[in-house]
């Protein structure tokens, strides 16, 4: 049997055992996977002197803050804390974890943890030392210390833990953005979406068939907590086109809004509210068939608004070429358009670019490694169509204010040019990088 146990559960066992004369025992609670010979410990209950009966009241004396949100906890073994003749714990064959102090001159081998100045050794009863590969043993999970180890130095995880992101729309794009931001260390979320998860969502969505019928709010919140159980999450089942006023308070408390809805009317509503609240936003849109998409950053007072950009793209590209699941309420219910086809991997490129823009904006600036992200728009092409002359191509554009913009009343255009100089696909050239990566790509 292989047992994982969070450090805070070990520390709680040691702290509570200090009040017991001699060796203390407790019931471990967690999730057992018998077919894999794995026990995931998430807490303990009924700590008592060794030999005393378990009162079986089921109360959890301690539950780890990192417990998965949907974990079904049950008795999963015992723990014996202390050093003495009773330190082996119960003898009924259930897995027992032994926690004993390491002598001052003792060797710190195997799994050890320091609690209140004393080093404690943690082993699985019946084993000797640390687990071997594929064998029995116990592993201490240092969640607070190690959860972000693989991204330390790449982003400021401490700063991101304090950031608050509102995500409007939790479909294919929004669910990916939410989970990826959580993986990157963002600690506070407001999720906005009125819909439930349907079967056609599953092939592209972060959530699966076990979430069918659930609100996307609850399902995505669970996915966030699976990555970051400490995340603070607020939810609102709001259709922003029907209740735009419901956005005001939620957006006002945000550091950034990720707009992941699949219709332009909803994005224009969010655009107005973000401008009014002086909150930056990043918009993601996917083209028909997921042949590509665009990501647009808007910083009030520093960049043109989404409506400025939308107006110029509209002149060049029919808006019904954007992926949209918007219903036509004048049509028969059986004749409604189905979900726009597109592979998850193709939509995923746009989702990840939107996430990367969000992280750059949340980090308070663009570093040398993010030179292209100071451009207002990123176009991504999965296929050699529209402005893309090869698959998997990125194009970056700057934006000027547009004189006839209904929302901000500015002036300017969005346009694209490239090294070839022959093709201008949008009105009025500003600037674009053919390929911003060092040396370019052929």
Q: Does residue 81 form part of some domain?
A: yes
Q: Does residue 441 form part of some domain?
A: no
Question: Which stretches within 253-386 are classed as H helix?
Answer: 264-277, 306-316, 344-362
pLDDT band at 129 (very low <50, low <70, confident <90, very high): low
pLDDT band at 130 (very low <50, low <70, confident <90, very high): low
What is the per-residue pLDDT for 134?
A: 63
| 295 and 178 belong to one structural domain | yes
Q: Which residues contact 348 (CB under 8 A, 6 or more apart)?
A: 176
**What is the H or E stretch that residue 78 is in?**
strand 74-81
User: 93: which 2 tokens?
Assistant: 């064959």
Helices 306-316, 264-277: crossing angle, 10 deg rounding: 150
Q: Does residue 317 form part of some domain?
A: yes
Identify the CA nearest to 91 among candidates 133, 56, 54, 125: 125
Question: Which stretches within 70-171 are classed as H helix?
Answer: 143-146, 157-162
Mean pLDDT of 419-440: 34
Q: Reply yes or no on whether the pLDDT at 315 is more than 80.
A: no
| 129 and 164 belong to one structural domain | no
pLDDT band at 318 (very low <50, low <70, confident <90, very high): very low
Q: Reply yes or no on whether the pLDDT at 350 is more than 90.
A: yes
| 137 and 159 belong to one structural domain | no
| 231 and 247 belong to one structural domain | yes
The domain that contains 63 carries what CATH number? 3.40.140
Beta-strand (E) ranges in 181-340? 188-192, 232-236, 256-259, 281-286, 292-298
| 119 and 228 belong to one structural domain | no
Longest dimension (CA), the chain: 86
- Let me know how many helices (H) and strands (E) the chain has, helices first: 9, 18
Q: Does residue 369 form part of some domain?
A: yes
In the listed set 93, 128, 146, which residue is the last one of a domain according to the structure?
Answer: 146
Q: What is the DSSP letter of 55?
A: -
Q: Reply yes or no on whether the pLDDT at 260 is more than 70.
A: yes
Q: Reply yes or no on whether the pLDDT at 308 is more than 50.
A: yes
Query: Distance between CA 416 and CA 371 in Å, rounded?
Result: 18
Beta-strand (E) ranges in 90-187? 96-101, 111-115, 118-124, 137-141, 164-168
What is the per-residue pLDDT for 86?
A: 54
Q: Reply yes or no on whether the pLDDT at 215 is more than 80.
A: yes
Distance of CA 61 to the CA centre of its chain: 30
pLDDT band at 135 (very low <50, low <70, confident <90, very high): confident
| 87 and 163 belong to one structural domain | no
68-115 pLDDT, tens per residue?
877 889 999 999 998 765 555 444 567 889 998 888 776 766 788 888
| 159 and 259 belong to one structural domain | yes
| 250 and 361 belong to one structural domain | yes
What is the per-residue pLDDT for 427?
A: 35
The neighbouring-strand residues paired with 130 are none
List the domain range (segments joined by +) for residue 371.
151-433
| 182 and 326 belong to one structural domain | yes
Q: Does residue 265 form part of some domain?
A: yes
What is the per-residue pLDDT for 38?
A: 92
Mean pLDDT of 307-318: 62
The domain that contains 293 carries what CATH number? 3.40.50.720
Q: Does residue 404 form part of some domain?
A: yes
Query: Distance between CA 306 and CA 152 in Å, rounded?
Result: 33
| 262 and 281 belong to one structural domain | yes
pLDDT band at 137 (very low <50, low <70, confident <90, very high): confident
What is the per-residue pLDDT for 379?
A: 93
Q: Does residue 442 form part of some domain?
A: no
Mean pLDDT of 191-207: 89
Q: Reply yes or no on whether the pLDDT at 378 is more than 80.
A: yes
User: 92: which 2 tokens?
Assistant: 């009924």
pLDDT band at 41 (very low <50, low <70, confident <90, very high): very high
Mean pLDDT of 17-38: 88
Mean pLDDT, the chain, whole residue set = 79
Is residue 316 within 8 Å of residue 425, measured between CB atoms? yes
In the listed set 103, 127, 146, which residue is the last one of a domain according to the structure?
Answer: 146
In the listed set 146, 169, 190, which residue is the last one of a domain according to the structure?
Answer: 146
Q: Reply yes or no on whether the pLDDT at 412 is more than 50.
A: no
Cα distances (Å, whole numbers) of residue 55 to 45, 59, 95: 10, 10, 19
In 3-state terms, the chain is what percent helix, strand and coil (to 5)? 30, 25, 45
pLDDT band at 191 (very low <50, low <70, confident <90, very high): very high
Mean pLDDT of 162-170: 96
pLDDT band at 436 (very low <50, low <70, confident <90, very high): very low
Tally of structural domains, the chain = 2
What is the per-residue pLDDT for 336?
A: 41
What is the per-residue pLDDT for 48?
A: 83
| 210 and 344 belong to one structural domain | yes
What is the per-residue pLDDT for 326?
A: 40
Q: Does residue 440 form part of some domain?
A: no
Secondary structure class of 15 (helix, strand, coil): helix
Query: Distance between CA 28 and CA 179 in Å, rounded?
Result: 30
| 314 and 335 belong to one structural domain | yes
């Amino acid at each position: 049997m292989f047992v994982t146990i969070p450090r805070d559960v070990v520390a709680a066992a040691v702290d509570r055992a200090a009040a017991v004369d001699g060796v203390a025992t407790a019931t471990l609670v967690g999730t057992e996977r018998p077919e894999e010979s794995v026990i995931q410990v998430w807490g303990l209950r009924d700590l008592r002197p060794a030999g005393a009966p378990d009162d079986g009241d089921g109360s959890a004396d301690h539950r780890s803050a990192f417990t998965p949100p949907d974990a079904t906890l049950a008795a999963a073994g015992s723990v014996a804390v202390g050093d003495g003749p009773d330190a082996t714990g119960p003898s009924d064959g259930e897995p027992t974890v032994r926690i004993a102090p390491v002598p001052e001159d003792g060797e710190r081998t195997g799994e050890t943890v320091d609690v209140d100045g004393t080093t404690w050794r943690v082993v699985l009863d019946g084993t000797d030392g640390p687990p071997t590969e594929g064998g029995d043993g116990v592993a201490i999970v240092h969640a607070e210390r190690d959860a972000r180890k693989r991204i330390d130095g790449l982003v400021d995880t401490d700063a991101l833990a304090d950031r608050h992101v509102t995500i409007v729309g939790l479909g294919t794009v929004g669910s990916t953005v939410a989970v990826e931001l959580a993986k990157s260390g963002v600690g506070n979320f407001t999720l906005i979406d009125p819909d439930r998860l349907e079967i056609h969502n599953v092939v592209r969505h972060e959530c699966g068939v076990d979430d069918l019928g659930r609100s996307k709010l609850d399902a995505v919140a669970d996915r966030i907590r699976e990555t970051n159980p400490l995340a603070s999450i607020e939810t609102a089942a709001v259709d922003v086109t029907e209740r735009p006023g419901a956005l005001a308070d939620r957006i006002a408390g945000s550091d950034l809004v990720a707009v992941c809805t699949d219709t332009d009317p909803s994005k224009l509503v969010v655009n107005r509210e973000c401008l009014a609240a002086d909150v930056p936003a990043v918009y993601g849109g996917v083209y028909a068939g997921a042949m590509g998409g665009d990501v647009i950053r808007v910083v009030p007072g520093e960049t043109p608004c989404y409506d400025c950009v939308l107006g110029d793209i509209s002149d060049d590209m029919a808006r019904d070429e954007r992926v949209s699941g918007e219903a036509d309420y004048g049509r028969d219910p059986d004749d409604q358009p189905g979900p726009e086809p597109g592979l998850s991997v193709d939509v995923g490129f746009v989702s990840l670019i939107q996430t990367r823009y969000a992280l750059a904006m949340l980090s308070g600036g663009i570093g040398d490694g993010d030179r292209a992200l100071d451009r207002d728009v990123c176009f991504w092409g999965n296929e050699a169509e529209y402005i893309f002359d090869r698959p998997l191509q990125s194009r970056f554009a700057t934006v000027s204010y547009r004189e006839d913009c209904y929302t901000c009343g500015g002036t300017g255009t969005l346009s694209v040019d490239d090294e070839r100089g022959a093709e201008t696909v949008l009105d009025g050239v500003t600037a674009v990088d053919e390929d911003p990566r060092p040396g370019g790509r052929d």
